[in-house]
Amino acid sequence: MERRDRYTYDADWAETVELKDGTYARLRLLRPQDRDLLSKGFDRLSPESRYTRFLGIKPRLTDKDLDYLCDVDHQSHIAIGAVATDGETGMGVARCVRLDEQGDIAEAAVTVIDACQGKGLGHILLDRLVHAAVERGIRRFRNTVFAENKAMLALIRDLGDANVVERDGPVVTIDAELPSAEELGVDDPDKTAMGALRRVLRMAARGALRLLRA
């Protein structure tokens, strides 16, 4: 698998974006020292958002959870965080984790705190995550969704050539092929994704995006 020495989305990358309500968010790669931001952000999730994100009841993040969520090498485990411009309020995280360290399939998840949902932040985080993943040779996202969530299934399918991998009661695992680096214009972080991905992002901007696991 081809590897680059430098990425557009690397430790030095940071970007301030304007949300639909006129507020701003600062995007950057997650750092080990972001444990407190993640913990406080989790506390701001509603029980419904926690259940949807973790596929079960999750009253708090344990130290083990935080170790996993913050132990990111941005190769096999990529995580992009959004914080308020004060730098102290976590707003959302997009992450993907390779199923195999050298593989090109990764589980992906986007979580946005309830107060920031519906403002287009999920749209932006997914876009940047796809760009970062494609830079690193990831070709497919594997996602787990609730089968009754038709909007979510349509959203993932619109991301590319999706195939159902597994069905387990109300939960469905599907693969979605990502656009190529050429389609994404990976060296231009301001260029939006094309075709199907653009449709996905518009849906995510309406607050429909809740990928699970990862």
Which one-letter DSSP state was computed for residue 212? B
For the segment 128-160, what is each residue's pLDDT rounded down to a tens digit?
A: 998 899 999 998 888 776 666 565 566 556 555
Residue 186 pLDDT greater than 50, yes or no:
no
User: For residue 190, what pLDDT is reported?
Assistant: 40
What pairing do the DSSP bridges indicate for beta strands 90-98 and 24-29?
unpaired
Residue 161 near residue 177 (C-beta atoms within 8 A): yes
Please report, for the chain, the start and end positions of each structural domain, with discontinuous segments joined by +.
14-208
| pTM, to two decimals | 0.77
**Domain 14-208, architecture per CATH:** 3-Layer(aba) Sandwich (3.40)
Q: Which residue did the predictor score with more confidence, 148 or 15?
A: 15
Q: Residue 203: pLDDT band by 50, 70, 90 thresholds?
A: very low
Instruction: Please state, rounded to an integer, the average pLDDT across all residues of the chain.
Output: 76
Neighbouring residues of 1: CB distance < 8 A, sequence distance ≥ 6: 102, 104, 137
User: For residue 147, what pLDDT is reported?
Assistant: 61
Mean pLDDT in residue range 194-202: 46
Tell me the H-state helices in the chain: 35-43, 47-54, 63-70, 121-135, 150-158, 181-184, 195-203
Q: What is d(CA 157, CA 199) in angstroms, rounded to the nearest whole number? A: 10
Q: What is d(CA 156, CA 176) in angstroms, rounded to the nearest whole number? A: 7
Q: What is d(CA 61, CA 76) in angstroms, rounded to the nearest whole number? A: 22
| DSSP reduced 3-state for 114 | helix
Q: Residue 185: pLDDT band by 50, 70, 90 thresholds?
A: low
Neighbouring residues of 11: CB distance < 8 A, sequence distance ≥ 6: 29, 74
Mean pLDDT in residue range 37-63: 77
Q: Residue 162: pLDDT band by 50, 70, 90 thresholds?
A: low
